[in-house]
Amino acid sequence: MQITHTPIDGCYELVPRVFEDGRGYFFESFNLRNFQEATDQDINFVQDNQSFSTKGVLRGLHYQKGASAQAKLVRVLEGEVLDVAVDIRKDSPSYGQVFTTVLSAKNNKQLFIPRGCAHGFVTLSKTATFFYKCDNYYDPKAETGIIYNDERFGIDWILPKASLIISEKDLVLPTYSDYVNH
């Protein structure tokens, strides 16, 4: 597995080595020992989540705050998404930076997003099945986020704004400046 550091401190792209033959394919999607050696991150995943979305569904930018913060390892089992990580850790050398990558069932890439980063994605294909591991349990009292279209980040979500499908909950998330001044 190839593990590459992104411009966000502690955020990594993982690309597995895929073995294909006439029967299909095989790859190791995660190996704790290799991950720890490559990243120097001590991680213990405790919860797996999966979502299904249709084209244009945008989820994010989400995170959990305080003691309930979560690191995530995300990937796409079916379809294709634009995945987005935003560093909102005030003491981070990459504070305020954005990283985007396309995750798909075809490229098998994964993204490790450290605690303290906001995360979101938009479905680019007709449908997508999104899977992620978390190192902390979901806590509805700690759930929050930043509005997806905040001008501070200038995220290009690839799809036209009129085609985006966004939950009411995500449409009322605060701006980055509201987060900073909070």
In three-state form (DSSP H/G/I as H, E/B as E, the rest C), the secondary structure along 42-92 is: CCCCCEEEEEEEECCEEEEEEEECHHHCCCEEEEEEECEEEEEEEECCCCC
**Residue 140 pLDDT more than 80?**
yes
Residue 68 inside a domain? The answer is yes
The pLDDT, as a whole number, for residue 182 is: 55
* Catalytic option among 12, 62, 63, 176: 62
Residue 27 inside a domain? The answer is no
* Mean pLDDT, residues 57-82 taken together: 97
Residue 60 inside a domain? The answer is yes
| Residue 62 is a catalytic residue | yes
Query: Is the dihedral angle over the CA atoms 82, 37, 43, 51 positive or is it negative?
Result: positive
Residue 33 inside a domain? The answer is no
Task: Grade residue 63 by pLDDT with cuts at 50, 70 and 90.
Answer: very high
**Those residues with Cβ within 8 angstroms of residue 11's Cβ, 6 or more apart along the chain or in another chain:** 5, 85, 87, 99, 111, 112, 113, 114, 117
Locate all alpha helices (DSSP H) within the chain, ordered by sequence.
Answer: 32-39, 168-171, 176-180
* Mean pLDDT, residues 35-64 taken together: 96
Task: Grade residue 177 by pLDDT with cuts at 50, 70 and 90.
Answer: confident
* Catalytic option among 12, 63, 132, 179: 132
The pLDDT, as a whole number, for residue 181 is: 61
The pLDDT, as a whole number, for residue 101 is: 98
Q: pTM of whole model > 0.85?
A: yes
Residue 150 inside a domain? The answer is yes
Range of the domain at 89: 44-180
Per-residue model confidence as pLDDT tens digits over 85-95? 999 999 999 99
Residue 113 inside a domain? The answer is yes
Residue 28 inside a domain? The answer is no
And the tokens for 15?
A: 């690309």
The pLDDT, as a whole number, for residue 139 is: 97
Residue 78 inside a domain? The answer is yes
* Mean pLDDT, residues 119-136 taken together: 98
**Residue 178 pLDDT more than 90?**
no
* Mean pLDDT, residues 66-80 taken together: 98
| Residue 119 is a catalytic residue | no
**Residue 131 pLDDT more than 70?**
yes
**Residue 179 pLDDT more than 70?**
no
Q: What is the number of structural domains in the chain?
A: 1
CATH code (residue 114): 2.60.120.10
